């Protein structure tokens, strides 16, 4: 008896549909099967999150080139992978006070002295950053991809988005580890930026195979300019919110 795919109704020629990739399922779904599917998406050694992370750590250029060439089935979608990574890293960073410590390190290093009202405003926006940290991280990808597109023209913008999503995911994990190390050591705060920049530079070099010096210079430009644009945009948004709250007589406490 011929069987049709339950997703697209194409006649099946094997265990998987050749049209949409749906696996043949003939039995009723069970709790055991739901649990198996859940863990399979994380720990599958041939695809899934863990496989994608392992591949990014060992051969990031291969992941990027294969994904943009159409070999997507064995890798987690870059946007989904980034959302998951940013969410986990953001939760740990906020939950264990690493973000607060990072801000304290910066203030101590720069010897920032603020009035009580300024501190209330800062506390208000820090709370907002904590609340939407993963979203801020994801939005930054659009800025970095735009700058990278100007510097490496062989990729279009969408392809740079793929690269940036994967690279930023690795960078966020490395940043989490670095912040944990420099916690309480303001003199080492520059280390976390150097580690992130180094990861981007290595990935750019492995993907584009340019002269190492040229790649390093371009990476610094992309990192600095992208960060400036992101900071300015965030500052403008926060500035508008501040003006609106003041005009409405709202408090930041």
Q: Are 94 and 136 in contact (CB under 8 A)?
A: no
User: What's the average model confidence in pLDDT over 243-248?
Assistant: 74
**Alpha carbon distance 2, 237 (integer Å):** 59
List the single range of 139-143, 159-163, 237-241 with lowest mean pLDDT. Answer: 237-241
pTM above 0.85, yes or no: no
Q: Could you read off the pLDDT of 67-77 as tens digits, one per residue?
A: 999 888 888 88
Q: Could you read off the pLDDT of 185-208 as tens digits, one per residue?
A: 766 667 878 888 999 999 999 999
Q: Could you read off the pLDDT of 203-235 as tens digits, one per residue?
A: 999 999 989 999 999 999 998 898 888 778 777
**What is the DSSP code string of 30-86?**
-HHHHHHHHHHHHH-SSSSHHHHHHHHHH-HHHHHHHHHTT--TTS--HHHHHHHHH
pLDDT classification of 45: cutoffs 50, 70, 90: low
Angle 196-222-89 from CA coordinates, rounded to 5°: 35
Q: Are 7 and 20 in contact (CB under 8 A)?
A: yes
Q: Could you read off the pLDDT of 55-114 as tens digits, one per residue?
A: 999 999 999 999 999 888 888 889 989 988 988 888 888 788 776 666 666 666 555 555
Q: Cβ neighbours of residue 134 under 8 Å, at least 6 residues apart? A: 83, 86, 87, 89, 90
């Amino acid at each position: 008896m011929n069987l049709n795919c339950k997703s697209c109704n194409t006649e099946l020629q094997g265990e998987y549909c050749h049209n949409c990739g749906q696996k043949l399922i003939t039995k009723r779904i069970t709790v055991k099967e739901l649990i198996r599917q859940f863990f399979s998406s994380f720990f599958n050694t041939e695809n899934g999150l863990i496989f994608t992370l392992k591949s990014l750590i060992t051969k990031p250029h291969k992941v990027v080139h294969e994904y943009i060439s159409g070999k997507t089935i064995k890798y987690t979608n870059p946007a989904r992978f980034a959302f998951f990574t940013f969410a986990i890293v953001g939760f740990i960073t906020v939950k264990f006070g690493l973000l607060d410590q990072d801000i304290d390190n910066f203030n101590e290093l720069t010897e920032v002295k603020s009035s009580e009202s300024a501190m209330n405003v800062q506390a208000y926006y820090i709370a907002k950053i904590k609340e939407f940290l993963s979203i801020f991280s994801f939005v930054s990808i659009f800025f970095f991809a735009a700058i990278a597109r100007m510097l490496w023209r062989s990729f279009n913008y969408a392809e740079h988005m793929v690269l940036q999503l994967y690279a930023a995911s690795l960078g966020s994990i490395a940043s989490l580890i670095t912040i944990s190390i420099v916690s309480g050591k303001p003199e080492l705060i520059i280390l976390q930026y150097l580690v992130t920049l180094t990861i981007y530079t290595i990935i750019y070099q492995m993907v584009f195979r340019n002269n190492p010096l040229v790649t390093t210079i371009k990476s610094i430009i992309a990192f600095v300019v992208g960060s400036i644009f992101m900071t300015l945009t965030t500052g403008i948004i926060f500035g508008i919110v501040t003006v609106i709250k003041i005009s409405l007589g709202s408090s930041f406490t």
